Structure 1
Amino acid sequence: MKLSVRGLVGSAQRVMATAQNGLEVIRFGGLGRDTDSSPFEIVERRPMYRLRHYFPAETGGGPVVLLVPPLMVSADIWDVNGDDGAVGILHRGGIDCWVVDFGSPSTEEGGWKRDLADHVLAVHSAIDTVCAETGRTVHLMGYSQGGMFAYQAAAFRSGKGIASIVTFGSPVDIVAGMPLGLPHAAVTDLVDFAADHVVPRLPITDRMVRIGFQLLDPVKTTKARIDFLRQLHDREALLPKERQRRFLSNEGWVGYAGPAAADLLKQFVVHNRMMLGGFVIRDQPISLADLKCPILAFVGEVDDIGQPAAVRGIVRAAPRAEVYESSVVSGHFGLVAGSMATRCTWPRVRDWVGWVEGGEALPEEIVPMADQPPGNAPRTALIRAVHTATALAEAGAGVGRALEQVAANTVRGSMGLAEGAARTLPRLTRLGTIQSGTRISVGRLMAEQARRTPGGECFLFDDRVHTHAAVDARIENVVRGLISVGIRPATRVGVVMETRPSALVTLAALSRIGAVAVLLAPESDLISALEQTGTVILVSDPENVRHAVATGARVLVLGGGDSRGLAVPAGTDLVDLEQIDPQRVQIPGWYRPDPGRARELAFILVSGTAERLDIKYITNHRWALSAFGTASAADLDHKDTVYCLAPLHHSSGLLVSLGGAIAGGSRIALARSLDPARFAEEVHRYGVTVVTYTWTMLRDILDSDVFPAGYPHPIRLFIGSGMPAGLWRRTTEQFAPARVLEFYASIEGDVVLANVPGVKFGCKGRPVPGTARVELVAFDPVSGQVMVDDNGYARRCADNEVGLLIGSAGANVDLSRGGLRGVFEQEDSWLPTENLFRRDSEGDYWLADRIDTVIRTRRGPVFTQPIVDVLNDIAAVDMEVAYALPARDRVLAVAAVSVRPGYELGAADVTEALRSLPPRQRPDLIYIVADIPRSPSFRPSAHAVQETYAPRPGAHTWWYNPDSEAYEDLTDMGSLGLLT
């Protein structure tokens, strides 16, 4: 009876204590605080932040850290555990602690209008202040998105004033580890829509943030509440954790400004630009590849928000930095607050600072980061499973998170395929609906992009980003200037400009008027080009204005200043478009924006020399065909940044780079010229995913070794035309896992081939869907005639038989300039290309030669392209050409090669390589030359080789001996009928 009374008394006391403590929680939001805040003073107040300096009276000149919180969490996160928190432990370690406090957007003036750049620039400014106040470099540290700010601010300032970077659960490669394991492909379209249309208009309040984070881990939230209720009677047990509980349950959360959230979703979730590079801070593209200071990333092994795979992306995103990691068996919050942070995180941070400063050893728990640490994944998965199972058991709840993860992994692969199909189908559908009278043009597509995403990024140039709205406004101003000087629809206007924003704007403005842009290379013979194209007016940039006025044509100058600084002869008919006030120009009644029809001429491309100008006439339909075909074959979308190495006056620049990017909604990165060092910098800084090329252009980049094999890069694809097989192989090896997408497009007609898989080096692939139907017909290169069957129709080629490539012609195509009718049946219409191909047994097309460069020998026609491809695939060969060399009584098939530095080439090498060709297709003579000149489009010039280097007897000239089927040293020129 005595024990029973004591038990009743104890129960009553427990009830009374529970009621008393519960009432205190209800009235005041919690129990009496267990710890006091660490002392700090506000050193600097700015509209974007306040800068706290902790323990200001005890600063001893030691190492300095600057701590950056995420947007949704109060800056008190660094002091939530008092003496056992971040600033307490670091201070006792002799470290001077500073904290950036962004405040809450709900209480700060203009807080709900803050964007991501505001916060990065705030950190940038705070670093300057701390460095000035302390006279030391800072160790920049950030939790979650605060760590992302730390990375971004450090890259923005190129590491100036930063001793090291430390982050806690800060994701970099979002694709590798989406929060909660969501499949990236499945959510990007939804996130993209939300970032554009929902989030910027929706203030994310403190309450929304708190509820959202609690819902991210309902098991842990429920368990914490149950534990609190179970111990509500025991005040002494609850007090040590009370401040942290109040922080998590209410006080620690702050609102999130909509523009900042939209930037986060757009740049780093949809586009993954923390990983790829090219994220934008106030019109300036930034890349983490610029980071060079030591980096330590804390990885929460059971962190569902900063997924370990996403956090470890920093080792690939910052290849120039020494990157370390430290793993903690913790969730997202536990990395910086709580018992695990007290025992593990902050002592390691303290020791890291000591190591970087040079006085202490690196803790064994801090190791160099590997992209995928060997053996780590199974352990992490096991720990995650045990951790989750324990939490479920302790909370007494059952949740099917494992089933959710399995479902997400199953869907991930199929969603990626569906996403590509969803992008391609509308493009092909639009391409198929284009009729001769359909309004389609460069100007029209760019206007559509500006209406769809005015704030979206259109192109990058010289480390500046230009939005669609800004570019569209510039185009409209140039249109008014052109109209004021008499440009009307169908007027042929020469454009002689370097690759620059003004050149792109000029092309779009001429298209918007309906004029024809005649694209001229700056170094070309302008007078001959103007005569042969019927052009009497030129648009030039300041760099080429003297060359332009020398033609005697009327010259319009655009970009780079006014005409007063241009040294041109007096009396020159010169107009500076920059001096025309567009608001004063009266728009005529005839003007209709973007009037161009598919059948109408849009561009004239001029290349070659005065003796042999190559003129290509490009209709709006032909441009659209290449644009949509490129976008479809390359799977371009708004997440891509297309680096335009080819100049805009080249077909690859105009049709593939510019056309594909516009049709795909991708960013365009304009390169001034081919500069390997600049290329290496801009690929990272712009976040380039696709690079365009022509012929041997990539050879210069590979030879410069600015991207050693295995060096991380964001490039996924190279697209262009004319790349030799050996250079193709070198490119894929050095830039793995990127691949090459080789195109072929006919000068006349709608034939477009693409090698989409990219596994057959040198192959041109198959017809792009939506382009012309193609056939190979038997062709005699000597007579220049199509060969027919017994019925008089053209004979189709068998597999691997070389023939003429022809493409189907639409009903509105003019066949008067070399078209064919009645080829396979009565009244069918075809346009021949100028090229000979073979089709292999799998249906892929291989270029054999141009009709006019076939070598017509006594043994029959010899095709140059197979010779070039085989020779280029020899490791020692740099470049090569094949051509016809007249001898006394015959024509020889000759190949000239240059050798890569450090390599040697012998007769045995060429003999072995050319065994893959039939004996009748092997060159009679092969010789080594010092160098092979190239055209402005980087095409090796056989004509220049013939003029500069003649074959001579010796150890570097070999003739083909048909008896031995081997190449041997040439000792006597006369034996081949050549003059000595």
Structure 2
Amino acid sequence: MKFSAKDLVGSVQRLMATAQNGLEVIRFGGLTHDVESSPFEVVERRRMYRLRHYFPDDATPGRPVAVLVPPLMVNADIWDVNAEDGAVGILHRGGIDCWVVDFGSPASEEGGWERDLADHVLAVNSAIDTVCEATGSSVHLMGYSQGGMFAYQTSAYRYGKGVASIVTFGSPVDVVAGMPFGLPYGMVSEVAEFLADHVVTRLPITDSMVRIGFQLLDPVKTAKSRIDFLRQLHDREALLPKERQRRFLNNDGWVGYAGPAAADLLKQFVAHNRMMLGGFVIRDQPISLAELKCPILAFVGEVDDIGQPAAVRGIVRAAPNAEVYEASLVAGHFGLVAGSTATNHTWPLVRQWIDWMDGDQPLPFEIAPMAEDVASNRPRSAATRVVHTVGTLAEAGAGVGKALEGIASNTVRGSVELVGEAARALPRLTRLGMIQPHTRVSLGRLLAEQAQQAPLRDLFLFDDRVHTNAAVNVRIDNVVRGLISVGIRPATRVGVVMETRPSALATVAALSRLGAVAVLLAPGSELQRAIELTGIKTLVSDPENLRAAAATGTRVLVLGGGDARGLDVQQGENVIDLEQVDPTRVRLPAWYRPNPGLARELAFVLVTGTGDRLETKHITNHRWALSAIGTATSADLDRRDTVYCLAPLHHSSGLLVSLGGAIAGGSRIALARSLDPARFAEEVHRYGVTVVTYTWTMLRDILDAEVFPAGHRHPIRLFIGSGMPAGLWRRTTEQFDPARVLEFYASIEGDVVLANVTGAKAGCKGRPVPGTAKVELVAYDPITEQVLVDESGFARRCADNEVGLLIGKASDGVDLSDGGLRGVFTAGDAWMPTENLFRRDGDGDYWLVDRTDTVIRTPRGPVYTQPIVDALNDITAVDMEVAYGLPVGDHTIAVAAVSVRKGYRLESKDLTEALQVLDHHQRPDLVYSVEEIARSSSYRPSTRAVQAQGRPQPGPGTWWYNRASEFYEVLTDAEASEVLGD
């Protein structure tokens, strides 16, 4: 091959140009270019940010206003990296007034390395206020990557005030749906929590670390861009237009990341996914994206491995009250906001979005309403990547790898999640199995352990405030000192009559820490009779219940209520305001040891029932721990959960399941003041509630209020509690799909705990929780109230579906003098009977059929009330129901009273069809409708209240069971004398 002189000269010139340009790059970091930044002035300087106003000389009135927010690790110049072809240049030419938030670099700002996430959200919040005041206009808030997360968070924090719309670029919301590179979320969550707690707060993330980290995310592309640069190093004119962008990516564009901010990101939005679920915290205030109501446009990069499409599209579920749109581009993470794709597509679309918002232009076809559960508008395949990356072999291989990864990801992710559940359950069950009568275990002790292990972790939320483990622990210790100052000692029984509030939790925990016994009383209950029954001499009350407590003549300690307490009772010897006690002045006595409670010792006394059925239930520390750890295990509660405590603390479900399960699981507790459906709907989103606890018919009020219509997006995964009727159970799972119900049964005295973990059988109580007492079902005659025995004299075990008495194996050292059983199956064995009758189906699941004292004793034999209640509750028209025995002459008949849902009508055929599921002799003799069925403080329908309304009367709202035809018929005067004995 021959070379001409011209070729030789060209090669020499190319070599010299390469050397000259290379030397310039080595000396100055890049090529000298004449591309200037867009003009701006800094109109506000604060500790956290500088506010830039671009093109400040343009005073065109009435322009739309945009505030642009960069991510933490990228310089604010990202919005101007292409100068005239960059964001602010294009938007300005489109008639938009551009303002940019510049966080600066933590390395050069005072206190920069101490910044946390809330600092940045509050900075954007302040900037919005400034721009709104300066322009007199609402702003279009725009954010790239984490800057888009800030846009969402800030808008929610300020409840949308001053924000016309939100525009984000590659901003992830649902981390679980789109982990970078398809990593299993369970594994990433654990790693993120570890890094947040032990690494990033101690190790500054410098700009060089950020730059290298981003380059390592896509090493092939990084290497290719450098090779392309070197190959064109001789052609200065070809390189200059891209030089500013190259220098930005290679060096100038990266800034450090403060450790506390990184820890917040990892904890709240990676480990706990709170952008999606709600309940992320800004300065002790819980926030949810459900607060967003303005229109949202999310740009989705179809080949973005950082802001994965599925994660970005999570906004449509996280913000159910907003209109959410998307623009999908074949671009990577950086390409969404800088480069040719951004110049030609992103920023023109943003300008058209704002024009559409102003009502001047139609919505461009490239912008469409975001669909839920859509992975991508375009197939994210190897072919897409090949086109996007100009067909390089390396990147084609990466695309194939991505496709293969998709096949295996679900399997890997599922395996990791199962391992995670096992890792959580095993230590709990091990601890449960190691509890002996002399083991120190109590509510106060578990709270102290959490405060020591994770002092800054959120513990509970109340009235839109978040309280940490450390803060709660200090409050408990202060209450302990207050109690000691007024003479409360270990083993003292102290009544607690308080609404559900932080002070109630602190009081119960403080009594536990002191070793005293909390006697929990329902507000509005029969206090005087309860005091006489329990023998307590001191009550702790909140201001709301002070008058009723003081009226009993018992000494009352007042706690809680904040500044506006409204104490309206004359304070004297019997009323002591504990809030006035200075804990620092209380000298702890020599006998005080925190959390002395042993497993065998009494921890709580619950007072249940009314009138002549008022009774006490004694709960030991072991019994409380059994339910707490059992609940946490069965519900798989962990630190990612927020448990909404609808059940009051004075109820066993509130004390043992809600409070106990959340603490044992390390979950956040959201305390509800009362059952208010509207407030419930707001707080579920704002707190990021994943688990809701209930008692009996609580959820009926929420369903009837329709604050969560079917199909409404929500973060709830589970409802846990006890006593929910089967029909209400089905309504709940239909309306809150895909959430399920976890129904518990727990004997108050004894260690029997059943749980319907799968939730597959509505109304079923499930099976024994691992680590709790062994259970048996023994044959029982409810008429004579005797356990039935076989030829040997031992108790006879029930066959499948035979009704019997549920008993639990007694723990060592348990006092059997009060109703315990010995010699049940072998000589000397020890068992504790429950007060309930069950049947066990062929699968081994247990079904409650009645209490031993509410079985209806009819001439045809015993009739059980629970199956009647469950069958009636399954009728769509029925609201609530009770079943009881009605004396008629010299015998008793089985009757059921029902209330009918508003807008529905109950007919004979409904009753006939619903009650066919019961055996012939178990069907009620009479069913009648009442206008309303009152409920107890625990939301249990009150049979006594129905009976107090009088006997059922003939008429169109009363039906009798015709055993000849097996139909329910309207009771007329003619049949009334026979059925009712009238």
TM-score, shorter chain, exceeding 0.5: yes
* CA deviation after TM superposition for structure 1 residue 569, in Å: 3.7
Deviates more, 1:403-412 or 1:232-241: 403-412
* CA deviation after TM superposition for structure 1 residue 33, in Å: 2.4
Q: Give secondary structure in 2 for the equivalent of 1:852.
A: coil
Indicate how the Cα distance of structure 1 residues 336 and 510 shifts in structure 2: closer, same or farther if over 3 A, else same. same
Indicate how the Cα distance of structure 1 residues 437 and 830 shifts in structure 2: closer, same or farther if over 3 A, else same. same
Indicate how the Cα distance of structure 1 residues 753 and 377 shifts in structure 2: closer, same or farther if over 3 A, else same. farther
- 1:606-636 CA deviation, whole Å, 9 max, x = no partner? 1222432131101000000000000000000
Distance in 1 (alpha carbons) for counterparts of 2:395 and 2:501: 64
**Alignment match, 2:980:** 978
Indicate how the Cα distance of structure 1 residues 344 and 627 shifts in structure 2: closer, same or farther if over 3 A, else same. same
Q: Could you tell me whether the CA contact under 8 Å between 1:219 and 1:395 is conserved in 2?
A: no
What is the TM-score normalised by the length of structure 2? 0.98
**Alignment match, 2:894:** 893
What is the TM-score normalised by the length of structure 1? 0.98
Q: Give secondary structure in 2 for the equivalent of 1:875.
A: coil
**Alignment match, 1:482:** 483
Q: Could you tell me whether the CA contact under 8 Å between 2:386 and 2:399 is conserved in 1?
A: no
Deviates more, 1:365-374 or 1:954-963: 365-374
Indicate how the Cα distance of structure 1 residues 681 and 191 shifts in structure 2: closer, same or farther if over 3 A, else same. same
**Alignment match, 1:904:** 905
Matched ranges for 1:375-524 at <5 A: 376=377, 378-379=379-380, 382-384=383-385, 386-387=387-388, 390-393=391-394, 408-524=409-525
Q: Could you tell me whether the CA contact under 8 Å between 2:639 and 2:668 is conserved in 1?
A: yes
Distance in 1 (alpha carbons) for counterparts of 2:893 and 2:456: 60
Indicate how the Cα distance of structure 1 residues 935 and 385 shifts in structure 2: closer, same or farther if over 3 A, else same. farther
Distance in 2 (alpha carbons) for counterparts of 1:396 and 1:529: 75
Q: Give secondary structure in 2 for the equivalent of 1:639.
A: coil
User: Is 2:272 the counterpart of 1:268?
Assistant: no
Deviates more, 1:418-427 or 1:697-706: 418-427
Counterpart code for 1:57:
D
Q: Give secondary structure in 2 for the equivalent of 1:193.
A: helix
Q: Give secondary structure in 2 for the equivalent of 1:346.
A: helix
**Alignment match, 2:303:** 302
**Alignment match, 2:678:** 677
User: Is 2:30 the counterpart of 1:44?
Assistant: no
User: Is 2:547 the counterpart of 1:554?
Assistant: no
Distance in 2 (alpha carbons) for counterparts of 1:395 and 1:255: 33
User: Is 2:717 the counterpart of 1:743?
Assistant: no
* CA deviation after TM superposition for structure 1 residue 385, in Å: 5.9
- 1:540-562 CA deviation, whole Å, 9 max, x = no partner? 11111111111111111111258
Indicate how the Cα distance of structure 1 residues 656 and 560 shifts in structure 2: closer, same or farther if over 3 A, else same. same
* CA deviation after TM superposition for structure 1 residue 410, in Å: 3.3
Matched ranges for 1:184-263 at <5 A: 184-263=185-264
* CA deviation after TM superposition for structure 1 residue 913, in Å: 1.1
Q: Could you tell me whether the CA contact under 8 Å between 1:562 and 1:579 is conserved in 2?
A: no
Q: Could you tell me whether the CA contact under 8 Å between 1:306 and 1:332 is conserved in 2?
A: yes
Q: Could you tell me whether the CA contact under 8 Å between 1:78 and 1:87 is conserved in 2?
A: yes
- 1:390-432 CA deviation, whole Å, 9 max, x = no partner? 2445899999565566554431111111111110111010000
Gaps of 5+ in 2: none
Q: Could you tell me whether the CA contact under 8 Å between 1:219 and 1:392 is conserved in 2?
A: no
**Alignment match, 2:876:** 875
**Alignment match, 2:639:** 638
Distance in 2 (alpha carbons) for counterparts of 1:562 and 1:552: 26
Distance in 1 (alpha carbons) for counterparts of 2:563 and 2:286: 28
- 1:35-56 CA deviation, whole Å, 9 max, x = no partner? 1100000000000000000000
Distance in 2 (alpha carbons) for counterparts of 1:471 and 1:513: 15
Counterpart code for 1:9:
V
**Alignment match, 2:282:** 281
Gaps of 5+ in 1: none
* CA deviation after TM superposition for structure 1 residue 942, in Å: 1.2
Q: Give secondary structure in 1 for the equivalent of 2:325.
A: strand
Q: Could you tell me whether the CA contact under 8 Å between 1:889 and 1:977 is conserved in 2?
A: no
- 1:127-157 CA deviation, whole Å, 9 max, x = no partner? 0000001111000000000000000000000
Indicate how the Cα distance of structure 1 residues 163 and 75 shifts in structure 2: closer, same or farther if over 3 A, else same. same
Counterpart code for 1:768:
V
* CA deviation after TM superposition for structure 1 residue 79, in Å: 0.2
Indicate how the Cα distance of structure 1 residues 903 and 396 shifts in structure 2: closer, same or farther if over 3 A, else same. closer
* CA deviation after TM superposition for structure 1 residue 374, in Å: 8.2
Distance in 1 (alpha carbons) for counterparts of 2:863 and 2:565: 58
Distance in 2 (alpha carbons) for counterparts of 1:349 and 1:678: 36
Deviates more, 1:162-171 or 1:963-972: 963-972
* CA deviation after TM superposition for structure 1 residue 572, in Å: 4.2
**Alignment match, 1:757:** 758
**Aligned residues: CA RMSD:** 1.6
* CA deviation after TM superposition for structure 1 residue 379, in Å: 5.0
Q: Give secondary structure in 2 for the equivalent of 1:744.
A: strand
Counterpart code for 2:50:
R
Distance in 1 (alpha carbons) for counterparts of 2:359 and 2:116: 38
Q: Could you tell me whether the CA contact under 8 Å between 2:635 and 2:757 is conserved in 1?
A: yes
* CA deviation after TM superposition for structure 1 residue 76, in Å: 0.1
Counterpart code for 1:978:
L
Q: Could you tell me whether the CA contact under 8 Å between 1:562 and 1:576 is conserved in 2?
A: no
**Alignment match, 1:952:** 953
Q: Could you tell me whether the CA contact under 8 Å between 1:34 and 1:243 is conserved in 2?
A: no
Distance in 2 (alpha carbons) for counterparts of 1:591 and 1:176: 51
Matched ranges for 1:311-326 at <5 A: 311-326=312-327
Matched ranges for 1:144-159 at <5 A: 144-159=145-160
Distance in 1 (alpha carbons) for counterparts of 2:523 and 2:635: 30
Q: Give secondary structure in 2 for the equivalent of 1:164.
A: strand
Q: Give secondary structure in 2 for the equivalent of 1:592.
A: coil
- 1:560-607 CA deviation, whole Å, 9 max, x = no partner? 258995222464422111111111111111000000000000001112
Deviates more, 1:150-159 or 1:354-363: 354-363
Distance in 1 (alpha carbons) for counterparts of 2:283 and 2:564: 31
Q: Could you tell me whether the CA contact under 8 Å between 2:37 and 2:83 is conserved in 1?
A: yes
**Alignment match, 2:361:** 360
Distance in 2 (alpha carbons) for counterparts of 1:941 and 1:394: 69
**Alignment match, 2:168:** 167
Deviates more, 1:217-226 or 1:566-575: 566-575
Q: Give secondary structure in 1 for the equivalent of 2:364.
A: coil
Q: Give secondary structure in 1 for the equivalent of 2:807.
A: strand
Indicate how the Cα distance of structure 1 residues 577 and 375 shifts in structure 2: closer, same or farther if over 3 A, else same. closer
Counterpart code for 1:316:
R
User: Is 2:810 the counterpart of 1:799?
Assistant: no
- 1:952-977 CA deviation, whole Å, 9 max, x = no partner? 11122111111111111111354435
* CA deviation after TM superposition for structure 1 residue 371, in Å: 1.3
**Alignment match, 1:106:** 107
Q: Give secondary structure in 2 for the equivalent of 1:309.
A: helix
Indicate how the Cα distance of structure 1 residues 927 and 379 shifts in structure 2: closer, same or farther if over 3 A, else same. same
Q: Could you tell me whether the CA contact under 8 Å between 1:301 and 1:384 is conserved in 2?
A: no
* CA deviation after TM superposition for structure 1 residue 214, in Å: 0.2
**Alignment match, 2:925:** 924
Q: Give secondary structure in 2 for the equivalent of 1:390.
A: coil
Distance in 1 (alpha carbons) for counterparts of 2:396 and 2:938: 69
Distance in 1 (alpha carbons) for counterparts of 2:399 and 2:689: 45
Indicate how the Cα distance of structure 1 residues 28 and 582 shifts in structure 2: closer, same or farther if over 3 A, else same. same
Runs of 4+ in 1 over 6 A off after TM superposition: 394-399
Q: Could you tell me whether the CA contact under 8 Å between 1:66 and 1:139 is conserved in 2?
A: yes
Distance in 2 (alpha carbons) for counterparts of 1:115 and 1:391: 41
Q: Could you tell me whether the CA contact under 8 Å between 1:929 and 1:949 is conserved in 2?
A: no
Q: Give secondary structure in 2 for the equivalent of 1:916.
A: coil
